[in-house]
Amino acid sequence: MVKRILNSLKQSASLKWRSFYILPLVLIVCTFLLALISLVHIFTSPYNFIEKEINIPKHARTWDTLNKLYHEGILPHPIITISGALFINGSPKIMAGDYVFKAGASPQEMMTMLHKGWVLAHRLTFPEGWTAHEILTEINNDQRLSGTISGTISEGSVFPSTYYIHRNQDRNKLIQTMTKTMDKVTHELMQSNKNPFIKTSKDLIVFASMLEREAANPDELSKISGVFINRLNKGMRLQSDPTVIYGITLGKSSLGRPVNRQDLKVDSDYNTYTRSGLPKGPICCPGLAALEAAAHPATTNELYFVLEHDGKAHRFSITYKEHLEHIRRIRNALKVANE
C-alpha cells in the first residue's frame, strides 16, 4: 500500500517536472513560429512605396548598405532583411551598382535584385559617322565606366549605336561589344553584297564610311553608293570631299572651315581627288544604314552630285555640264541668302 502511494507520488512529480519543461518549450516553439510567420509576411509583402534610384558603391559592407536602405525607407531593419534573405533567398549578398527600387516592391524582390545584380542600365549613344577618336574620347570621358582602355580603336572597327551600360562597367568590355557588333553586321552584309568593288569586310566599311560622311540625309545613301560605283566603273576618281578632310585631320578634329582648292591638292592615302579607287581605310565609323547602302547600291545613271544651298539634300547629275549648272545655281542662291 505504501509502495503504491510512493509510486503514485513519483509519477505525479514526474508529470509536473515534464510539464515544467514542455510548456516553456511549446511557448518557445510557438513564439519562433510566430516570428517566422511575421518575418515571411514582412519580407514578401510590399514595403517600398516610393520609387527611388540608389547607387551602391563597390566594396560597401552589406550591413552598412542595408542600414542606409533602411533609413531611406526602402527596406526593413537590417536584422529583418538579412534574416529574411537567409531564410527565403538563401543569401544576403548584394552587388554594387545603380538600382531602381520600384514602388510596391517587397523586400524579397529587392534583395533578389541586389543579390543577382540587376542593375540599372544607362543609355550611351554613339552617332553614326563619328570617328574612332570621337568615340574613344566619349568612352574615356564617361564617368559611369571604369578601367583604362588598353590600346586604341582602329577607324571603322566599332559599330556606332545606342548601348546600355551599367555603372563601373569596364571600358574595354564595351569596346569589345562594339567591335563584335561591327564584325557581326559586316559579316552578315557580305553574304548579300551586290557591290562589285567590295571584296572584304574592310572594303565594306571603307565604302560605307564615305557614304556616311557624304549623305545629307539617309534617303541619299544608296543613290550616292550607286554614283560612286558608276564613277569607279568609268575609271573616274571618287573626288569625295570628306576623304580630303580626313587626310588632313585624321579624324582627330574638324577642319573648321569649308574645303578649298588647296585642300584638294594635299595628297594623302585618303584623298580621292589625288588617288584613284577607294581610300586607304575608313574615314569614320559608319552605321547600319550606310553599311547596307554600300552593300546594296541603287541603280542609277548619275555621275555627279552637289549639296543644295540649304544643306538638306544633294542635286544629282548625269553629265558634267548639268553638274556645273547646278553648282552655279546653288552659288547664286547662297549669295542671295547671305545678302
The mean predicted confidence, pLDDT, of the chain is 89
Q: What is the pLDDT of residues 286-319, one digit of tens each?
A: 999 999 999 999 999 999 999 998 999 999 999 9
DSSP line for 115-174: HHT-PPPEEEE--TT--HHHHHHHHHH-TTEES---S---TT-S--SEEEE-TTEEHHHH
Q: What is the pLDDT of residues 212-243, one digit of tens each?
A: 999 999 999 999 999 999 999 999 999 999 99
pLDDT for the residue numbered 4: 60
Lowest mean pLDDT among 45-49, 108-112, 143-147: 45-49
CA diameter of the chain? 140
Q: Is the model more confident about 327 or about 15?
A: 327
The enclosing H or E element of 98 equals strand 97-101
pLDDT for the residue numbered 171: 96
User: Residue 145: pLDDT above 70?
Assistant: yes
pLDDT for the residue numbered 296: 98
Q: What is the pLDDT of residues 24-69, one digit of tens each?
A: 666 666 666 676 676 677 778 888 788 888 999 888 899 999 999 9
User: Residue 97: pLDDT above 80?
Assistant: yes
pLDDT for the residue numbered 25: 67
pLDDT for the residue numbered 32: 62
Q: Is 54 exposed, middle or buried (CB count within 10 Å of its CB: 0-12, 13-18, 19+)?
A: middle
In this prediction, residue 335 has a pLDDT band, given cuts at 50, 70 and 90, of: confident
In this prediction, residue 278 has a pLDDT band, given cuts at 50, 70 and 90, of: very high
Lowest mean pLDDT among 81-90, 108-117, 227-236, 265-274: 81-90
pLDDT for the residue numbered 38: 66
Q: What is the pLDDT of residues 172-207, one digit of tens each?
A: 999 999 999 999 999 999 999 999 999 999 999 999
The enclosing H or E element of 101 equals strand 97-101
Nearest to 105 by CA among 96, 97, 114: 114
Model's pTM, two decimal places? 0.79
The enclosing H or E element of 23 equals helix 2-44
At a CB cut-off of 8 Å and minimum separation 6, what does 115 contact? 85, 89, 91, 92, 93, 94, 95
User: Residue 89: pLDDT above 80?
Assistant: no
Angle at alpha carbon of residue 167, lines to 98 and 77, rounded to 5°: 25
Contacts 24+ apart (CB under 8 A), 58-63: 58/96, 58/168, 59/96, 60/96, 62/92, 62/93, 62/94
Cell of 237: 576618281
Nearest to 101 by CA among 93, 111, 89, 87: 111
User: Do residues 311 and 239 make contact, with C-beta atoms less than 8 angstroms apart?
Assistant: no
User: Residue 6: pLDDT above 50?
Assistant: no
Domains in the chain, CATH or no CATH each: 33-116 (3.30.1490), 122-182 (no CATH), 195-338 (no CATH)
